[in-house]
Amino acid sequence: MIDLIKKLPKAELHLHIEGSLEPELMFKLAQKNSIEIPYNTVEDVKNAYDFSDLQSFLDIYYAGAKVLVTKQDFYDLTWEYILKCKQDNIIHTEIFFDPQTHTARGVAFETVILGIKEALDDAKKKFGISSSIIMCFLRHMSEDEAFKTLEESIPFKKYIIGVGLDSSEIGHPPSKFEEVFKAAKKEGFKIVAHAGEEADVSYIFEALDLLKVQRIDHGVQSIKSKELMQRLKEEQIPLTVCPNSNIELKVFKNYKEHNIKKLLDFGLLVTVNSDDPAYFKGYLNQNFINLYKNLDLSKDDIVNLVKNSFKASFISEELKEKYLQKVDLSLS
Ligand code: ADE
Ligand code: ZN
């Protein structure tokens, strides 16, 4: 089964590019850019990755992102992730970036987006990996600041397929960002949001009803509402679930308690994703392998999860067909 997991062509739909910053690159960039980081060795960094919840991770994640300064840094970060895609047989990826994490430190929006974009263009040229970019508003900041970011993004609109919402969830419900998401939708952006990662189902209802999301990022708390489960099933609204992340951030006590198999068996359009793989002990295949080892997933479950990743993506119907055929071919 592990061989099957490795050889299946996959899409990834929930990956924060800043969360793919490996400690080795963090050190290299810190030195090059003369940025102080609170670690002496790569080992030190790895030891610091012991989280109790989402916020304890975010504090470390934002501190790490400070080493990213030049366009080349964003290119190198993205290119390293693309090499992991190649390794894990990811043939399509939709990546998140957090513009405000960088613009708040004086790094221009243009520096960030162009560095990412150029690496993704090279990924297409060299490996045939297709991709798109989703910018996320940081929900711990104000809606006014999100509006400023939306304005800054307009000159680069052709490079950005959608907008999302991430960062500290509890206390920052989707309703706080209703107006800016309305404006983003008017601009033609696709809409996603992190909801129901740690917070209760009211956040998922708000993401659906107020932000009009096309996918829910995480959404594992949905299981607490029968009404919501029924709606997600009927409307086939995808959930981009991130198992390793949920375990590392203590959303579930351990892998055996993860509810992804229950969500899948209920008929939801569930996908598997790595979220912040450099922080959460592994990239996409490792997430699948951990699920398989702990949750008794069948071959059909794994193939369904992989097929869902293409079905839930923002690619054209034609490309979806082509990629789904590739999955079937890899099985024969
Ligand atoms: N930013 C990066 N990873 C995140 C996560 N899992 N939840 C919310 N914001 C994030
Ligand atoms: Zn996330």
- Reported as a pLDDT band with limits 50, 70 and 90, residue 77 is very high
Say whether pLDDT at 332 is over 90. Answer: no
* Per-residue pLDDT at 195: 99
Which ligand has the minimum distance to the alpha carbon of residue 196? 1
Residues facing 135 on adjacent strands: 97, 163
Average pLDDT over residues 77-95: 98
pLDDT tens for 38-69 read: 899 989 998 999 999 999 999 999 999 999 99
Above pLDDT 90, what percent of the chain? Answer: 97
133, β-bridge pairs: 95
**For 296-317, what is the mean pLDDT?**
97
Separation CA 245–CA 279 (nearest Å): 8
In this structure, which ligand is nearest to the CA of 21? Answer: 1
Residue of 18, 169, 197, 248 marked active site:
197
| pLDDT tens for each residue of 238-291 | 999 999 999 999 999 999 999 999 999 999 999 999 999 999 999 999 999 999
Q: Tokens at residue 51, please?
A: 């989280």
| The pLDDT value given to residue 276 | 98
Average pLDDT for 3-21: 98
Instruction: Respond yes or no: is residue 143 known to be catalytic.
Output: no
For the chain, the first-to-last Cα distance in angstroms comes to 14
pTM for the whole structure = 0.98
Dig out the tokens for 62 from the structure.
């934002």
Strand-strand pairing, 162-166 and 215-218: unpaired
Which of 55, 57, 138, 274 has the most ligand 1 atoms within 8 A of CB, as the residue to mutate?
A: 57
**Rg, Å, the chain Cα set:** 19
